[in-house]
Amino acid sequence: MKRILVTLMAVAFLATSALVSVAADGPEKVLYETKKGNVTFNHKAHGESLGCEACHEGTPGKIDIDKAAAHGDSCKGCHKKNDGPTKCNACHTK
């Protein structure tokens, strides 16, 4: 009986993880509209070159980006460390 239960749980786990991986690519691009000029975040390209773990812990989901996060570790901080764009207009294009 115990063994059957474990097998059923394993099947249920596989079914959920398959569902999650289909639905969880996230957006292709995200546009942040600001007074300083709009910022286009190419989410797909970042994911392909850096891997999801560079920004997401565990199962990827929503990350809130405000000004402090954008100018800190969520965007610019990584650019400083990894030769990404750090000039204002490299992100804020009109």
What residues line the site for ligand HEC (CB under 6 A)?
24-27, 30, 32, 34-36, 39, 41-43, 45-47, 50, 52, 54-56, 60-63, 65-67, 70-71, 74-76, 78-79, 82, 84-86, 88, 90-92
What is the Cα–Cα distance from 50 to 74, expressed in whole angstroms? Answer: 13
Q: How far apart are the first and last CA of the chain?
A: 65
Least Å distance, CB 59 to ligand HEC, is: 8
Beta carbon nearer to ligand HEC, 12 or 50: 50
What is the Cα–Cα distance from 51 to 60, expressed in whole angstroms? Answer: 11
Least Å distance, CB 20 to ligand HEC, is: 9
CB 56 within 8 A of CB 63: yes
